[in-house]
Structure 1
């Protein structure tokens, strides 16, 4: 493993943990996300494929992610940095994550900017984009994955809520006056 982005080469447990994260990356899921991004942006080759290298190279500067956020919810990201400087690219990525969170992606499904910029955990990026893809239907765009459920709020009257107050549930059962006095399990303790 070579050192990338000024970081030392991982070894020992750090290398094992990093390799485990890398093995979680699924090209099939990334391919589905890539096709979804391409269709939302209306372009064919924004992301060439779900292969890790293509996926990383297409998204690492955050420009495509910011364009995607603005396509789903116009104006969600005010300024997209086109500079290739590291801190500008990471700013784009952070802006995308903030916008995704505002669009309903749970905090637990967001990724850190280093996960993408330094290629630490591309699987987390895929998870975040899948979650955003499920929310896209709310913004009038094509969505991916299973349809999210809608709230089914039920309002009961006070009369309906009190209707069961006088009933004894069969779950309570009956012990017919029995108690646990005098019951011993096993041998008594000899001192």
Structure 2
């Protein structure tokens, strides 16, 4: 039985090596220059109460890890009611992760897309700090684009997001589009086939 178990043990070696390579690639995406911009923006946005970390990836992680700075940041961007009602500086792991989760929920409410969102473990366990940078950059871009008077910092730090898609389809246009599809669907007895062909046309387009 021991002999049979040996190959299984050996198989763990390459998978560990592969996961290490993947982790190294993730780490290589972390941008030290972007870190400086994000730290400068967050400290301006939140004020001196959030402090300022020493330069470096590990210090950046430690600064944000308990979720408090992130919660202060997202609250500062909302002109009205603040989305994170309680900001608790706790030493307990689950409380810190809960605080990060509250930030992520609020960031999504603000308009950050799920594809730009990091996972709690990316920050708390330091699995993908480049993803954390990506989320914060997306948040900065949204704040600059919305121009609601809450953004504090240089507007050139972040790309202004294109609002083309939002203008392209107004509510009236969407309703008109649905009416057209409804007419197509009801124009003959083979409504389901018509719908399928419409779907194929859309895919081809």
TM over 0.5: yes
Q: 2:44 aligns with which of 30, 39, 48?
A: 39
Deviations 1:56-86 (A, max 9, x none): 1100110000011111114111112221111
Q: Distance in 2 between matches of 1:153 and 1:79?
A: 38
Q: Distance in 1 between matches of 2:114 and 2:127?
A: 18
Question: Residues 50 and 69 of structure 2 are in contact (CA less than 8 Å); yes or no, is this contact kept in structure 1?
Answer: no
Question: Residues 29 and 50 of structure 1 are in contact (CA less than 8 Å); yes or no, is this contact kept in structure 2?
Answer: no
Q: Distance in 1 between matches of 2:117 and 2:68?
A: 17
User: In the alignment, which residue of structure 1 is the partner of 2:10?
Assistant: none
Q: 1:130 aligns with which of 122, 126, 137?
A: 137
**1:16 correspondence with 2:29:** no
Runs of 5+ unmatched residues, structure 2: 1-14, 171-205
User: In the alignment, which residue of structure 1 is the partner of 2:101?
Assistant: 94
Q: Distance in 2 between matches of 1:55 and 1:147?
A: 25
User: In the alignment, which residue of structure 2 is the partner of 1:146?
Assistant: 159
Q: Distance in 2 between matches of 1:63 and 1:97?
A: 12
Structure 2 length-normalised TM: 0.66
Q: Distance in 1 between matches of 2:55 and 2:72?
A: 19
Q: Distance in 2 between matches of 1:118 and 1:65?
A: 16
User: In the alignment, which residue of structure 2 is the partner of 1:114?
Assistant: 121
Structure 1 length-normalised TM: 0.70
Q: Distance in 2 between matches of 1:154 and 1:118?
A: 41
> Cα gap change, 1:134/1:85 in structure 2, threshold over 3 Å: closer, same or farther?
same
Runs of 5+ unmatched residues, structure 1: 1-9, 156-191
Question: Residues 74 and 107 of structure 2 are in contact (CA less than 8 Å); yes or no, is this contact kept in structure 1?
Answer: yes
Deviations 1:22-50 (A, max 9, x none): 11111001111111101111228733255
Shifted more, 113-122 versus 33-42: the winner is: 33-42
Q: How many residues align?
A: 148
Q: 2:83 aligns with which of 76, 79, 83?
A: 76
Kindly state the Cα deviation for residue 146 of structure 1 after the two structures are TM-superposed. 1.4
Question: Residues 28 and 50 of structure 1 are in contact (CA less than 8 Å); yes or no, is this contact kept in structure 2?
Answer: no
In structure 2, the residue corresponding to 1:33 is in which secondary structure? helix
In structure 2, the residue corresponding to 1:148 is in which secondary structure? coil
Cα RMSD, aligned residues only: 2.4
**1:56 correspondence with 2:61:** yes
Q: Distance in 2 between matches of 1:44 and 1:81?
A: 14
